[in-house]
Amino acid sequence: MANLALGLHGGCGTLDRSLMSEDDWAESRQHIAQALRAGWAVLKADGRAIDAVQATIMVLEDSPHFNAGYGAALTENFDHELDASIMDGATLDAGAVTSIKRVRNPIQAARAVLEGGKAVLLTGAAADQFAEQAGLTMVEPDYFTTQRRIEAVKSLKQRALTGTIAKASEAEKHGTVGAVARDSQGHLAAGTSTGGFNNKPLGRVGDSPIIGAGTYAKDGVCAVSCTGQGEIFIRRVAAYDVAARMIYGGQSLKQASDILVHETLASHGIGAGMIVLGAQGNPLAPYNTLGMYRGWIGTDGRMTVATHHDLYELGDA
């Protein structure tokens, strides 16, 4: 029997604390805790790691505080193209969707692709149609839109006109959610979901739906979900690189993930973060930005949530 563990991130693009009220920060931490409890309930009931990952991410997708599902980023045309992926470390089975517009919970669509067994990645209208035929909850595209994301796109468009786009914060640009879990049988799983980045070009696909770039899980090694500028994570095959460093380089989980975030990815001048979990032990959440929405329940069953440097210990899950 393995030690149960669960971790999540809600994106490394965290605002400066002064830019949101303390009530809003408290609500975001509350939603992180709710997501952790949803996944933990699965694990405590002797459920599978992949089911816990899905349950955790669905709560984050339903929260306006995170760039996935409801409250997701808008494209340059002020619409949504949503991406998600999920991977089972026991079998290496994986499923992903990209550029979908009508599935309420994209992580469910990714899971449906995995279960379908005929593809790893489906895209666009065909992915929406597949999800609908699978019986998933469908919504009108404007369901995902929030005023905060509209204002973010307007801000970025104005920065582009004034030549100050390079000064845009991570919070203005990016955001992703993800989760990793280890179940009672020692199996690992990982999943990631995102709206991409604000004001992104139509048809742009980042790392979140790419197995090995934004998501990876392999039993006995690690489970990884990434957040940051997806183009760099794709080029670095970042999620798989954590596993490769452990398997072939003999690095520990902490060494591998810290080097990637603070050296390899940071060398590109980007904000980066990830939630990682090994075959034993507790989740780790390295990041190189002002903050990263994150939380975990360790092998002792106690919950921790955070948005910036400070950790909030919430006691038994």
Q: For residue 189, list its beta bridge partners.
A: 88, 181
Stronger pLDDT, 77 or 172, i.e. the higher one: 77
Q: How many CB atoms lie within 10 A of CB 31?
A: 21
Q: Which CATH number fits domain 5-307: 3.60.20.30, 3.40.50.261, 1.10.3470.10, 1.10.357.20?
A: 3.60.20.30
pLDDT band with cut points at 50, 70 and 90 for residue 172: low
C-alpha–C-alpha distance, residues 36 and 8, integer Å: 8
Q: Is 149 helix (H, G, I), strand (E, B) or coil?
A: helix
Q: Which is it for the CA torsion 249, 280, 310, 172, positive or negative?
A: positive
- Catalytic site residue from 56, 98, 123, 176: 176
Total residues found in the chain within this entry:
317
Q: Is the pLDDT of residue 168 over 60?
A: no
Q: Parallel, antiparallel, or unpaired for β 311-316 and 302-306?
A: antiparallel
Q: Which of 294, 13, 43, 24 is nearest to 178 (CA)?
A: 294
For the segment 209-254, what is each residue's pLDDT rounded down to a tens digit?
Answer: 999 999 999 999 999 999 999 999 999 999 999 999 999 999 999 9
CA-nearest of 314, 245, 300, 315 to 274 is 245
For a pLDDT cut of 70, what percent of the chain falls above it?
91
- Tokens representing 50 are 């992949």
> What pLDDT does residue 299 have?
96
pLDDT at 207 over 80: yes
Query: Tokens in use for 228?
Result: 């940051």
Contact assessment for residue 233 and residue 211, using Cβ atoms and an 8 Å cutoff: no
Q: How high is the pLDDT of residue 2?
A: 73
Which pTM was predicted?
0.94
The residue to which tokens 């975001």 are assigned: 28
Do 91 and 188 form a contact (C-beta atoms < 8 A)? no
| 289 labelled catalytic | no
- Residue 302, token pair as written in the block: 């106690």
The angle formed by the CA atoms of residues 57, 59 and 61, to the nearest 5 degrees, is: 70
pLDDT of res. 152: 76
CB-CB contact of 59 with 174 (8 Å): no
Cα 70 to Cα 305: distance, rounded to the nearest angstrom: 21
Q: Is there a contact between 32 and 317 (Cβ–Cβ < 8 Å)? A: no
Which sequence spans correspond to the domains of the chain?
A: 5-307
Confidence of residue 197 (pLDDT cuts 50, 70, 90): confident
Asked whether residue 270 carries a pLDDT value surpassing 70, the answer given is yes
Positive or negative torsion for Cα 51, 81, 194, 31: negative
pLDDT for 17: 66
Query: Each residue of 25-74: pLDDT tens digit?
Result: 899 999 999 999 999 999 999 999 999 999 999 999 999 999 999 989 99
Mean pLDDT of the chain: 92
Question: Using one digit for the tens of pLDDT, what is the confidence trace for 129-155?
Answer: 999 999 999 999 999 988 887 877 777
Instruction: Work out the pLDDT band at 170, boundaries 50, 70, 90.
Output: low
pLDDT class of 317 with cuts at 50, 70, 90: confident
